[in-house]
Structure 1
Amino acid sequence: MKMSKRHLTTAAFAMLTAFSAAAIADQYHYQVIGEGIGHDRDEAVNAASYYASRQCYLNWGRSTGEQTILVEELQPDTGYWYVKLSEGCISED
């Protein structure tokens, strides 16, 4: 029985998909912490977000983009905002 090009392409795509799914099966989800100080709240959040994303990258991971603010306060002695947040990170084996 002869197989058409379409059937061969479909079979090759199915095998590639199966191998790709197996290759990304080992993913590790964890949280990284970022802290930042700024003149206003948004500046402090941006700084904390930068440091969390950087920490994820340095651990050979990628950010999920999910962030949770853990501490957010105006420091009365300096007048600066302080923010501490956690960010989701994924690394793959």
Structure 2
Amino acid sequence: MKMNKCGLSTAAFLISIAFSTAAFADRYRYEVIGEGIGHTRDEAYDAASYDASRKCYLNWGQSTQEQTILVEEQQPDTGYWYVKLAEGCISED
């Protein structure tokens, strides 16, 4: 007995939904805050970005790569740069 292409496509689709937990999972979007310091603005930004991505990952989330810089300043007493940013994070329930 032969199945036509439509029947095969429908069967494959139904099987993929049956075995996919993501099809029924709720997705939550939230923001994590990252902070970093560095000799240069770029070093501080990289440290803050890493901090935010790490916090998202540790909360079983996935980064959206969307970032908003909240604070960016050079500390007058040390000369180091300080960056604080918010990064979008998505997790599934």
Q: TM-score range by the shorter chain?
A: 0.7 to 0.9
What's the TM-score, normalizing by structure 2? 0.86
In the alignment, structure 1 residue 77 sits paired with structure 2 residue 72: no
Q: Indicate the percent of aligned positions where both proteins have the same amino acid.
A: 66
RMSD of equivalent CA atoms: 1.8
Q: What pairs with 1:27-46 in structure 2 (closer than 5 Å)?
A: 27-46=27-46
Looking at structure 2, the residues matched to 16 and 68 of structure 1 have their Cα atoms a distance apart, in angstroms, of 40
Matched AA of 1:61:
G
Unaligned ranges ≥5, structure 2: none
Structure 1 or 2: more helix by fraction = 1
Runs (4 or more) in structure 1 with deviation over 3 Å come to: 16-21
Question: Which residue in the other structure is 1:13 paired with?
Answer: 12
Aligned residues between the structures: 91
Unaligned ranges ≥5, structure 1: none
**CA-CA distance at 1:12 after TM superposition:** 1.4
Bigger shift: 11-20 or 49-58? 11-20
Looking at structure 1, the residues matched to 73 and 15 of structure 2 have their Cα atoms a distance apart, in angstroms, of 50
Question: Which residue in the other structure is 2:87 paired with?
Answer: 87
**CA-CA distance at 1:17 after TM superposition:** 5.4
Question: Which residue in the other structure is 2:23 paired with?
Answer: 22
Looking at structure 1, the residues matched to 80 and 71 of structure 2 have their Cα atoms a distance apart, in angstroms, of 14
- SS of the aligned residue for 2:8 comes to helix
**CA-CA distance at 1:87 after TM superposition:** 0.2
**CA-CA distance at 1:68 after TM superposition:** 0.3
What's the TM-score, normalizing by structure 1? 0.86
